[in-house]
Amino acid sequence: MHKINIAIDGPASSGKSTVAKIIAKDCGFIYTDTGAMYRSATYLALKHQVPLTDEAALVELIENYPITFKQTDHRQLILVEEQDITDAIRQPEVTNNVSEVSAFPKVRAHLVKAQQKIAASGGVVMDGRDIGTTVLPDAEVKIFLVASASERAKRRYKENQAKGIKSDFDTLKGEIEQRDYTDSHRATSPLKQAEDAVLVDTTGMTIAEVVAKIKEVTKEKV
Ligand code: C5P
C-alpha cells in the first residue's frame, strides 16, 4: 500500500488505539501512540518529583529521558532508558494528571516535533488529540472518533474487570468527562475535530465495524 499517513483523533477511551493498532498491522504501517508520550512525561515528573506546574523542568525531563517504542509480537512497549513503562503510564495517578502536563505549550512543541519526525516518511497511523489539526495537517486520512461518555466508561469498566482491576463506573465516567473538558479547553492545540476529518461515532459499533469504516475512508482517499 502507498505510504500515506492516517491521523486518528478523539476523546479519552474512544477506542482510538485499539483500531489504530489493527489498521497499522493490516496496512504494514507504524503505529504511534502520542498519548503515551504525554503520559511518559507525566510519569517521569511524578517519579522524579518534578512539580507538574513547572513547564521548564518538565521540558528538561522530556529532553533527558526520551521515550522509545518497541514492537513485539504481541504489543507495543514504551521504554525509557531501556525500562519498560508500558503499564506504569496507564496507572490512575498518571491518567488523572496528564491533562495538566499536556496543556503546556513548550511540552507540546517538543513532543509534536518528535511526532512529526516519526511520520516524515509516511506509512504511519498516529492517534491522539491534535494529530489532524496540528501534528500532521497534511495527513491523507483524518478520522475523528467519538462515542458517548457512558459508552466509553462502560468499555473502560469492562477492560478493568477483565484485568482484575476494581473500579466504580460513575467515577470512571466522571474522570473521562473531566479529562475531555480539560483537553478541549486548553489554549494550545485543544482536542478538536479537523475541518477535513471524517467523524465516526462508535457508540453501538463493534471494533470490526469501526475498522471497516476507517478502511473504507482510507480507500477513498488513496
Ligand atoms: O490517548 P491517551 O488517553 O493515552 O492520552 C492521554 C492524554 O495525553 C490526553 O488526555 C491528553 O491530555 C494528552 N494528549 C494530548 N495530545 C495528544 C495525545 C494525548 O494532549 N496528541
CA nearest to 42, candidates 21, 16, 61, 70: 61
Taking the centre of ligand 1 as the mean of its atom positions, its distance from the CA of residue 125, in whole angstroms, is 15
| Ligand 1 site, residue 12, Cβ cutoff 6 A | yes
* pLDDT tops 90 at residue 74: no
Instruction: Provide the greatest CA pair distance for the chain.
Output: 48
Residue 111, exposed/middle/buried by CB under 10 A (0-12, 13-18, 19+)?
Answer: buried
> pLDDT digits over 164-175, tens only?
888 999 999 999
pLDDT score for 117: 96
- The C-alpha cell that represents 149 in the structure block: 461518555
- The C-alpha cell that represents 219 in the structure block: 480507500
Report the nearest atom of ligand 1 relative to the CA of 99: 12
Binding residues: 10-18
* pLDDT tops 80 at residue 73: no
| Ligand 1 site, residue 175, Cβ cutoff 6 A | no
ipTM: 0.99
Model-level pTM? 0.95
| Ligand 1 site, residue 130, Cβ cutoff 6 A | yes
Report the nearest atom of ligand 1 relative to the CA of 182: 12
| Ligand 1 site, residue 133, Cβ cutoff 6 A | no
- CA pair distance 133, 122, nearest whole angstrom: 17
CA nearest to 96, candidates 177, 211, 184: 177
Binding residues for ATP: 10-18
| Ligand 1 site, residue 183, Cβ cutoff 6 A | yes
pLDDT score for 160: 87
SS3 80: strand
What mean pLDDT comes out for the span 38-45? 97
Can you spell out the DSSP letters for 123-155?
Answer: -EEEEESSIIIII-TT-SEEEEEE--HHHHHHH
b/e 119-150 (16+ beta carbons within 10 angstroms → b): beeebbbbbbbbbbbbbbeebebbbbbbbebe
By most ligand atoms within 8 Å of CB, the mutation choice from 8, 85, 102, 124 for ligand 1 is: 102
| Ligand 1 site, residue 99, Cβ cutoff 6 A | yes
| Ligand 1 site, residue 42, Cβ cutoff 6 A | no
Which domains occur in the chain, in start order?
A: 5-205 (3.40.50.300)
- CA pair distance 113, 99, nearest whole angstrom: 19
Which segments of 3-103 are extended strands (E)? 5-9, 30-33, 67-71, 76-80, 83-84
Q: How many other CB atoms are there within 10 angstroms of residue 20's CB atom? A: 26
By most ligand atoms within 8 Å of CB, the mutation choice from 43, 108, 115, 129 for ligand 1 is: 129
Report the nearest atom of ligand 1 relative to the CA of 17: 1
What mean pLDDT comes out for the span 134-141? 98
What mean pLDDT comes out for the span 136-146? 98
pLDDT score for 1: 66
- The C-alpha cell that represents 190 in the structure block: 485543544
pLDDT score for 194: 98
